[in-house]
Amino acid sequence: RTVYVNGEYLPETEAKVSIFDRGFVMGDAVYEVTAVVGGKLLDFAGHEARLARSLNEIEIENPFAEGELLAIHRELLAKNELVDGGIYLQVTRGNPGDRDFVFPDPAVVKPTVVLYTQLKPGVLQSPTGINGIRVISVPEMRWHRRDIKTVQLLYPSMAKMMAKKAGVDDAWFVEDGFVTEGSSNNTYIVKDGAIITRPLSQDLLHGITRAALLRYANEAQIKIIERPFTIAEAQAADEAFLTSASAFVTPVIEVDGAAIGAGTPGPIAKRLREIYIDEALKAGI
């Protein structure tokens, strides 16, 4: 692959970041993943806006000039001839030259910027997206600013491992009896034709796919109720699904061993997957 590091396009084997970089030492960094389908970027403006917000929340100066981020994405797509997959982007607070908890002076230490492509041929035809996935619930143990998209992904990784060991596909976090979100996605249940999903707050990531999906569902006159829900409600729901830039809309067919609805992808989840993919591709750039 050709990757991007601090203004340069390099073969991945030549790309280097310091051992003192705060992204490495402190997890002091934010990221984005933008889906690429048929050579088009999906929801790019949303990811660009959320990156700006994440950076602002942790006081890292946005390193990108107007239009620059899109130009880098396009250049990476072209150089790697990427058709289906995604672009991963990470901005760290930079390399202060030693380990120190205090933020370095932003006039002296500039952010580290890394982007690379990820290949996923035939991404729309993934078996999980079509057949649905099974999940377990795990206790929510992340910090309380989940609205900031930091690279601090140890607990979500542990949650995925718990799911793997349990023989299922993913984990949903539960806090005070209610689902916050999935390990790397936003979560929904469907009851009596209405979509139920947790409202935005600092408790969960403000998914870009979530925002687009709710817009499209609203246009399709599907009722949306923004409120937290429990695992018991999910198990008694007609359907469940999740959204993310990597999974689009993916049906969820089982939670903690209990089948949801018929135990197969539900009609609303399937319809929303189609609508999302159609509309996001149409709007893709």
The residues that touch ligand PMP, with contacts defined as CB under 6 A, are 33, 181, 184-186, 205, 207-210, 243-245
CA distance 214 to 218: 6
Rank residues 32 and 239 by Cβ distance to ligand PMP and give the closer one: 32
Contact criterion met (CB below 8 Å) for 80 and 87: no
Rank residues 33 and 194 by Cβ distance to ligand PMP and give the closer one: 33
Rank residues 91 and 205 by Cβ distance to ligand PMP and give the closer one: 205
The active-site residue, picked from 79, 149, 164, 282, is: 149
Parallel/antiparallel/unpaired status of strands 29-37 and 133-139: unpaired
Estimate to the nearest angstrom the gap between the alpha carbon of 109 and the chain centroid.
Answer: 28
Pick from 69, 71, 29, 72: nearest CA to 46: 69
CA distance 281 to 267: 21
Pick from 10, 83, 4: nearest CA to 284: 83
Contact criterion met (CB below 8 Å) for 243 and 42: no
Rank residues 10 and 124 by Cβ distance to ligand PMP and give the closer one: 124
Q: Is 149 one of the catalytic residues?
A: yes
Report the run of H or E that residue 281 belongs to, with start and end.
helix 267-283
* DSSP state at residue 263: S
Active site residues: 149
